[in-house]
Structure 1
Amino acid sequence: MADLFLFNKPFHVLSQFTDDRGDSGKPTRSTLADWISTPGIYPAGRLDFDSEGLLLLTDDGALQHRIASPSQKMPKTYWVQVEGDITGNALARLRQGVELKDGRTRPAQAVRMAAPTVWDRTPPVRYRESVPTSWIELTISEGRNRQVRRMTAAVGFPTLRLIRFRIGQWTLEGLSPGEYRTEQVNLPAPPARKSGPRSRKRPPNPRRTKSS
């Protein structure tokens, strides 16, 4: 069994316990250490400084790999507020995969959604009466740098607010910003190593002599 922390990361909090700016003279930013005091746990994956929502942490390396490794293709669902009235064509392009500078994304699940009932962000998203906004639910199975923001921008609808709601089977249901809960995860046993027949070395022939 492994311990898993489900944390609702607030806006403008780093997904790490220290800020690399500490030695640069620049003002330091809020980190996980401002919210979580449990020693020996580390994030399984990352969430951008300007994004909010579910971040998973654990002290178990196997579980961390299972969640964060690109080879596992664990789905992640985001609630995304975009600038503009999202179109069916834009959603179709997200579903098919979008061409980005680092290659085409995998097909995603993308649907329009009603504005979710969530906490107020501090500071709030800039409101412009002349520009409508809309929300989409986007599920991807990759973890490229700032991928969701780049995907929505590529189809013509820049991201204004980004909340990660789900990673695999885990959600931030019931968690306010800065809150966390713990679960115990039963990891599958590693597959047994198959042992084939052992090769036997032929004993030396006592009758054979080395010729000079």
Structure 2
Amino acid sequence: MILAFNKPMNVLSQFTDEGKWPGLKHHIDVPNVYAAGRLDRDSEGLLILTDNGKAQARITDPRSRTPKTYFALVEGTPEEAALEALRGGVTLKDGVTRPAEVAQVAAPDWIWPRDPPVRVRKTVPDAWLRLTITEGRNRQVRRMCANVGLPVLRLIRWSVGDWTLDGLAPGQWRQL
């Protein structure tokens, strides 16, 4: 069994609660499924869950190069040099990232209001990027964007492989 879940902001990618942060058990009442990969507490979007260990390994193994597409609201105006750096791979503390597919895009028309709202500064512009990576390092998209001078204000994973968030509201799940 494979489930797609639209993980809301401030929900952990595990079934147990931790301190003030709720786990998946508040949204998913399906026994014996586990997250195939993670999304940080402060990230939103598609989380794949499965009861199949081989499927979980295939989805999360960096050697499988499963593409993951994110929409990131970044602080600042992306310059072409920053986008090219992301496309070529950037050097982080844990090594050089694989090249990413990156484009500046309009705000997605499917976006939902975030709770809590994104901090917006009237004197600092922001922009949306669509990024596709084939790794899954800890906080990778945030660290890559920060590395090129574009701190992430909001991060939503849209897809994992061929699976997307299409039609899933925050906190909802469906069987794939």
Answer yes or no: same fold by TM over 0.5: yes
* 1:13 match: 11
Q: What stretches of structure 1 of length at least 5 have no aligned partner? A: 22-26, 184-212
Which one of the candidate residues 52, 70, 89 is aligned to 1:97?
Answer: 89
Partner amino acid, structure 1, of 2:41: F
Question: Is 2:117 the partner of 1:119?
Answer: no
1:44 aligns with 2:44: no
Decide which structure has the larger Cα Rg and report it. Answer: 1
State the percentage of identical aligned residues: 57
Q: Which residue of structure 2 aligns with residue 28 of structure 1?
A: 20
Measured after TM superposition, the shift of residue 176 of structure 1 is 0.4
* Structure-1 separation of matches of 2:153 and 2:8: 15
Q: Which residue of 1 aligns with 2:173?
A: 180
Unaligned segments of structure 2, at least 5 residues: none
Which amino acid is the alignment partner of residue 129 of structure 2?
A: I
Aligned residue identity for 1:11: M
Aligned-residue CA RMSD (Å): 0.8
1:137 to 130, 148, 169: 130
Q: Secondary structure of the equivalent of 2:153?
A: strand
Give distance in 1, aligned partners of 2:158 and 2:133. 12
The AA in structure 2 aligned to 1:4 is: I
- Note the C-alpha offset of 1:129: 0.7
| Aligned mates of 2:9, 2:66 — CA distance in 1 | 23
The residue number in structure 2 matching 1:154 is 147
Give the whole-Å Cα distance in 2 for the aligned partners of 1:84 and 1:102. 25
Matched residue SS, 1:150: helix
Name the amino acid aligned to 2:25.
A
| SS at 1:129 equivalent | coil
Quote how far apart the aligned CAs of 1:31 are: 0.7
Q: State which of 1, 4, 12 in structure 1 corresponds to 2:2.
A: 4
TM-score by length of 1: 0.81
Q: Which has the higher contact order (CA 8 A, sep 6+)?
A: 2
- Aligned with 2:132: secondary structure? strand
What do the CA deviations read for 1:51-101 (whole angstroms, capped 9, x no partner)?
A: 000000010111111111112110100000000111111100000000111
Equivalent of residue 64 in structure 1, options 48, 52, 56: 56
Structure 2 residue 145 is matched with structure 1 residue 169: no
Q: Distance in 2 between matches of 1:16 and 1:168?
A: 21
Residue-by-residue CA offset, 1:142-196 (whole Å, 9 max, x unaligned): 111100000000000100000000100100000000001102xxxxxxxxxxxxx
Aligned length: 175
Q: CA deviation at 1:28?
A: 3.2
Distance in 1 (CA, whole Å) between partners of 2:71 and 2:144 is 14
Distance in 1 separating the partners of 2:40 and 2:133 = 16
Partners of 1:9 and 1:155 lie apart in 2 by 27
TM-score by length of structure 2 reads 0.97
